[in-house]
Structures are given as C-alpha cells and as structure tokens.
Amino acid sequence: MDFAKLPKSAQLVLKVLEEPMSSKEIAKRTNLSERTVRYAIKLLKDSGIVKEVYLLQDARKRVYVLSENFNDILEGSPT
C-alpha cells in the first residue's frame, strides 16, 4: 500500500498514532470527526497497518496501535 494513495484522513491518523490511542483521542488530536476517524481506522486495519487492542482493565474500550510491520506494508514489501 502506498502512503500517498491513502485518504488524507488515514494519512493524518497515521501521523498522530505514535502511541496507543482511542478513536476519541485520535479525533481530538487531528480535529477530524469521530466518524471520519473510525472510517480511516477501518481502512488502516483492513490494510494491516493498524491493530485494534482491547484493554484488559475494561474490555469495552479499544485502542489502536501501529502494526509491527507497518513500514513493510506501506513500502509494499512482502510480510
């Protein structure tokens, strides 16, 4: 997947996702609507760039983190 081919919202989410964050936190940092953030996260999850992690303290809460091999995916290298 080419970074430049990602929608601008997904590119912005990738830029701020340096640590585990909820979709609400991402929305605050990017000034995007929560709906737009959820869509961007869905695209990134489907591409394998982002992983969804459920918190042990409260399984209803989810945070998003970059996959270990996200650079390889963005560069088009086989995993």
pLDDT tens per residue, range 8-20: 999 999 999 989 9
Give the pLDDT score at 31.
Answer: 96
Domain 8-69 has CATH 2.60.40.10: no
Alpha-carbon Rg of the chain, whole angstroms? 12
Band (5; pLDDT cuts 50, 70, 90):
confident
Q: Output the average pLDDT for the chain.
A: 88
More reliable by pLDDT, 51 or 55? 51
Query: Where in the chain are the domains?
Result: 8-69
Is pTM beyond 0.85 here? no
Task: Give percent of the chain above pLDDT 90.
Answer: 66
